[in-house]
Structure 1
Amino acid sequence: MPGYVIRRLQQAYSSAWLRYVGPDLTGPQFAVMLAIRLHPGVEQGSLAKAAALDRSTMAGVVKRLETRELILRVQPPEDGRKRLLYLTDTGIDLLAEVDLKARQLDDLLRESLDPVASRQHLNERADVWESLTAE
């Protein structure tokens, strides 16, 4: 039963995240902040795909990050519908701390795996699973 195994893996990863990375950012918040760091000024609507989140989840994550003053949402004068996203100085600092811990967790998870084979296998699985939810 692959669904059961995937659920167990997700639960184990969530527990490991809290233990090794901490509660400062959730996985989705971390993904959003990484995407903003890579693309400062990205439009909120296009960020959902980059962070692998649906639009409704994305909106909630952005709102919580903005409330915590980790990101800024800026409305450009030429288009009142858009919201451009930037990391604040506080967000940059927190992301650096969390990113280091998250990479250490990734290293722990990969310790017993062949690097090339595991990356290929995980990417193949992700492609299959994401195709099941494609719109």
Structure 2
Amino acid sequence: MPGHLIRRMNQISVATFLQEAQTAGFDLTPVQFAAIYAIARNEGIDQATLSSLIAYDRVTIGGVVDRLLTKALIRREVSEKDRRARELYLTEKGRDLLEAMMPAVQKVQERMLEGLSAEERASLVALLKKATAGASAVPSGGQNEGE
């Protein structure tokens, strides 16, 4: 069944990420990496936007942001446009970590798809994007994993 295979691939993805990150000397979970990656590409976003970008619920993302703040990888600033809003930015340490991690992250992507040809990889990614877009319209009540 597709649901089981998707769950199993997610387990493999998380385990492979953690193994590669640890081997390379990094202490970051997949969701923490996703958060700093998203912040790097969207400097000044708020937590709600970050939550939406990486598809994690707001409660979970709050804990992720707190851990990244504690690790000094991001900073949170009061928005000049809306004093109630808080904007997220990478610190220099966060930028350096993101850049240093990219080879390990690329290795994870390759390891996950090593059983497929280049054409099959492209097809799988295209189909996953299509299936994710279609399923995103369905409300979910599940918990996030990997944090």
Q: TM-score, normalised by structure 1?
A: 0.86
Query: As a proportion of its length, which structure holds more helix?
Result: 1
> What letter corresponds to residue 17 of structure 2 in structure 1?
W
Note if 1:17 corresponds to 2:23: no
Match of 1:119? 125
Moved over 4 A (4+): none
Match of 2:67 among 51, 58, 64: 64
Matches for 1:1-135 after TM superposition, within 5 Å: 1-22=1-22, 24-111=27-114, 112-113=116-117, 114=119, 115-133=121-139
More displaced 10-residue stretch of structure 1: 104-113 or 67-76: 104-113
Q: Which protein has greater RCO, CA pairs closer than 8 Å, 6+ apart?
A: 2
CA RMSD of aligned residues (A): 2.1
CA shift, 1:77, in A, is 4.6
Do the aligned residues in 2 keep the contact of 1:36 with 1:86 (CA within 8 Å)?
yes
> What letter corresponds to residue 118 of structure 1 in structure 2?
L
Do the aligned residues in 2 keep the contact of 1:21 with 1:105 (CA within 8 Å)?
no
| Compared CA separation, residues 3 and 81, structure 1 to 2 (3 A) | same
| Compared CA separation, residues 124 and 75, structure 1 to 2 (3 A) | same
1:75-130 deviations in Å (ceiling 9; x for gaps): 13552311111101111111112222111211232332324312212212322443
SS at match of 1:14: helix
CA shift, 1:134, in A, is 5.6
**Structure 1 gap ranges (5+):** none
Q: TM-score, normalised by structure 2?
A: 0.80
Give the length in aligned residue pairs. Answer: 135
CA distance in 1, matches of 2:9, 2:37: 23
**Structure 2 gap ranges (5+):** 142-147
